[in-house]
């Protein structure tokens, strides 16, 4: 059978289609060249409109009327000036052409000489850790190429590594904490000290991602945060670690930040908090921030072991049951808190047995804040009196059911003086100030995923709630408002959060006088109601 020839349209159709595509591409390129000015101006107008919308959104509501009046005045002047609309159109077209220009800068094909030298030195430093003599095709070898080991890299303006992806051989023990720590320490040292690095180990793909973390915002002052009852904002962290955001006011700007929220109350799994730090690291600032937030829905008892009057601004305020600085007052307050916890437990148990809801006086949260209890421990031992920490056993063990929360803050070098109940029941931990990775792991129970630095601002540290991840933390600025070194803005922010006074300052609890001085007289109890509420009864001082 003879084969019939293909139709002509099918024999040369491919060539015709190719020529048609080439003609269409040429026409499109020509149209793009002709319409390029119009495309540029259109892109510039879109960018100018977006900038105007952002400016309008950032303008406070009380200033928008003035801004509209100013814009209307400018339009009226332009309309009345001879050739004003023409000049305005020319100016707008020129601005749009300038804003719509192609800003794409030509990126270099590879690293420059200094960057290549830095990557080479980093590669050579990793060879002893990622190579063995038995490997037939080693990924790391002296004199080898680093491009296969570092598929992704980026540098900052100072020619230092800001982002790096490291491939390592499958036989590396990436599941051992010590092996990981050695690699992380080496990468942090070779990439540049003084910065915080975040390490992400991908054990399935044998890759390590190193990323430089931006400093946390340290300019956020104390304010009324948008939280539910029982939620306490300990501070702020990275956006990659927390999904929830909170709106805050920083100066005249509003922005969303990512908080570290500590949830308290009967349903909390971490009902008590322990904060440790170096002197001047911000533990007292953290306690003031917690106290101001707790006073919105509860009552507070404060024991100040520092003796510097850090909580004098809270004396006599509504909801502040006591601010004690002396050993006798602290013992009386904590003994009352222990009895109040037992009373609440009995009342709640009776209500449950009777099938009734808990009484109202047991629902209001009670906060016990202790700053430097180790100082009271030494005073009690010298005076042969009871250790105040022993009175915390009942609130720590049963406080969650009775709506009693304990917050303890002390220095890192005094951690050995903390009692066993304090260390055992405070499962929410905060460490502020410079600290080594080993010390952070011993306090928090897990190592941080970042490299600690030696110099940090006050209120900067790490936090871990129970068995959760370790977060970087920056405590909101809550300074002592009576301190002369405090800025006016931060001082006013704290004063605005203080509750009103319910008693004159001279009638409130005062520090215990020095040894050998006159003892303060017991205060007369206030007239009691027919059925007084013990939760709101101020503890008396017993010397």
- pLDDT value for 109: 58
- pLDDT value for 504: 52
Q: Is the predicted pLDDT of residue 174 greater than 80, yes or no?
A: yes
Per-residue pLDDT averaged across 255-267, rounded?
92
- pLDDT value for 145: 87
Helical residues (DSSP H) of 100-218, grouped into ranges: 113-126, 177-191
275/463 Cα distance (integer angstroms): 9
- pLDDT value for 320: 95
- pLDDT value for 432: 95
Per-residue pLDDT averaged across 414-441, rounded?
92
Q: Is the predicted pLDDT of residue 120 greater than 50, yes or no?
A: yes
Q: Is the predicted pLDDT of residue 165 greater than 50, yes or no?
A: yes
pLDDT averaged over every residue in the chain: 84
Determine how many CB atoms are found less than 10 A away from the CB of residue 473.
Answer: 23
Model confidence pLDDT, tens digit, residues 12-63 = 555 565 666 676 677 666 766 667 788 888 888 888 888 888 888 878 877 8
Lowest mean pLDDT among 53-62, 327-336, 531-540: 531-540
Confidence of residue 5 (pLDDT cuts 50, 70, 90): low
- pLDDT value for 522: 42
- pLDDT value for 535: 40
pLDDT above 70 as % of the chain:
85
338 CB contacts (<8 Å, ≥6 apart)? Answer: 391, 392, 393, 394, 395
- pLDDT value for 251: 78
What token pair was written down for 495? Answer: 């004063």
- pLDDT value for 157: 76
What token pair was written down for 419? Answer: 């009692």
482/488 Cα distance (integer angstroms): 11
290 CB contacts (<8 Å, ≥6 apart)? Answer: 232, 234, 273, 367, 369, 407
- pLDDT value for 253: 86
The pTM of the full predicted model, rounded to 2 decimals, is: 0.71
Per-residue pLDDT averaged across 280-303, rounded?
94
- pLDDT value for 423: 93
If one compares 375 and 102, the residue with the highest pLDDT of the two is 375
Q: Is the predicted pLDDT of residue 519 greater than 70, yes or no?
A: no
Lowest mean pLDDT among 8-22, 45-59, 130-144, 383-397: 8-22
Per-residue pLDDT averaged across 214-220, rounded?
88
- pLDDT value for 527: 42
Q: Is the predicted pLDDT of residue 367 greater than 90, yes or no?
A: yes
Query: Which of 176-185, 399-408, 524-533 ranks highest by mean pLDDT?
Result: 399-408
Q: Is the predicted pLDDT of residue 520 greater than 80, yes or no?
A: no
Q: Is the predicted pLDDT of residue 524 greater than 60, yes or no?
A: no
If one compares 390 and 4, the residue with the highest pLDDT of the two is 390
If one compares 157 and 71, the residue with the highest pLDDT of the two is 71
Per-residue pLDDT averaged across 276-290, rounded?
93
Conformation bin of residue 141: beta by default, left when phi > 0, alpha when psi is -120 to 50: beta
- pLDDT value for 140: 93
Per-residue pLDDT averaged across 151-171, rounded?
88
Q: Is the predicted pLDDT of residue 503 greater than 70, yes or no?
A: no
- pLDDT value for 404: 96
- The single residue listed with the structure tokens 């890192």 is 412
Q: Strand (E) positions, 214-360?
A: 231-237, 246-250, 253-263, 273-277, 299-304, 320-324
- pLDDT value for 29: 67
SS3 249: strand
SS3 119: helix
- pLDDT value for 191: 85
């Amino acid at each position: 059978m003879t084969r019939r020839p293909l139709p002509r349209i099918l024999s040369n159709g491919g060539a015709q289609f190719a020529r048609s595509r080439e003609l269409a591409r040429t026409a499109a390129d020509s149209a793009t060249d002709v319409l390029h000015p119009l495309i540029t101006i259109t892109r510039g107008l879109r960018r100018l409109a977006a900038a105007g919308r952002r400016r309008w959104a950032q303008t406070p509501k009380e200033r928008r009327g003035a801004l509209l009046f100013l814009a209307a005045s400018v339009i009226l002047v332009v309309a009345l000036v001879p050739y004003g609309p023409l000049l305005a159109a020319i100016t707008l077209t020129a601005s749009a052409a300038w804003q719509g220009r192609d800003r794409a800068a030509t990126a270099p094909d590879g690293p420059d000489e200094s960057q290549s030298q830095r990557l080479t030195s980093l590669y050579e430093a990793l060879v002893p850790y990622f190579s063995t003599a038995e490997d037939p095709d080693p990924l790391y070898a002296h004199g080898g190429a680093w491009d296969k080991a570092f598929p992704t890299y980026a540098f900052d303006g100072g020619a230092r590594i800001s982002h790096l992806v490291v491939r390592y051989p499958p036989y590396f023990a990436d599941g051992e904490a010590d092996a990981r720590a050695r690699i992380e320490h080496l990468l942090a040292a070779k990439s540049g000290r003084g910065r915080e690095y975040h390490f992400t180990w991908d054990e399935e793909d044998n890759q390590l991602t190193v990323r430089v973390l931006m400093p946390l915002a340290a300019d956020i002052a104390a304010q009324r945060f948008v939280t539910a009852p029982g939620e306490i904002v300990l501070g702020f962290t990275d956006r990659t670690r927390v999904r929830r955001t909170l709106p805050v006011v920083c100066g005249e700007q509003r922005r969303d930040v990512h908080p570290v929220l500590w949830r308290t109350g009967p349903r909390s799994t971490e009902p008590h908090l322990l904060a440790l730090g170096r002197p001047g690291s911000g533990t007292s600032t953290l306690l003031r921030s917690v106290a101001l937030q707790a006073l919105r829905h509860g009552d507070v008892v404060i024991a100040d072991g520092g003796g510097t009057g850090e909580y004098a601004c809270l004396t006599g305020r509504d909801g502040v049951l006591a601010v004690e600085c002396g050993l006798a007052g602290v013992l009386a307050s904590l003994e009352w808190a222990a009895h109040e916890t037992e009373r609440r437990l009995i009342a709640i148990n009776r209500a449950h047995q009777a099938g009734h809801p808990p009484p109202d006086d047991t629902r209001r949260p009670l906060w016990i804040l202790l700053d430097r209890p180790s100082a009271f421990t030494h005073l009690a031992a010298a005076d042969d009196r009871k250790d105040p920490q022993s009175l915390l056993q009942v609130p720590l063990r049963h406080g969650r059911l009775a709506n009693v929360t304990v917050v303890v803050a002390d220095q890192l070098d005094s951690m050995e003086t903390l009692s066993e109940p304090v260390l055992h029941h405070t499962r929410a931990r905060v460490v502020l100030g410079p600290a080594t990775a080993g010390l952070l792991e011993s306090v928090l129970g897990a190592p941080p995923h970042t490299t600690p630095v030696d110099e940090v601002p006050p209120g900067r540290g790490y936090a871990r709630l129970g068995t959760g991840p370790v977060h970087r933390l920056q405590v909101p600025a809550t300074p002592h408002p009576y301190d002369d070194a405090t800025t006016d803005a931060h001082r006013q922010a704290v004063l605005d959060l203080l509750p009103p006074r319910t008693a004159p300052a001279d009638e409130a609890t005062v520090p215990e006088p020095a040894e050998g001085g006159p003892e303060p007289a017991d205060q007369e109890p206030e007239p009691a109601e027919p059925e007084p509420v013990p939760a709101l009864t101020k503890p008396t001082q017993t010397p």
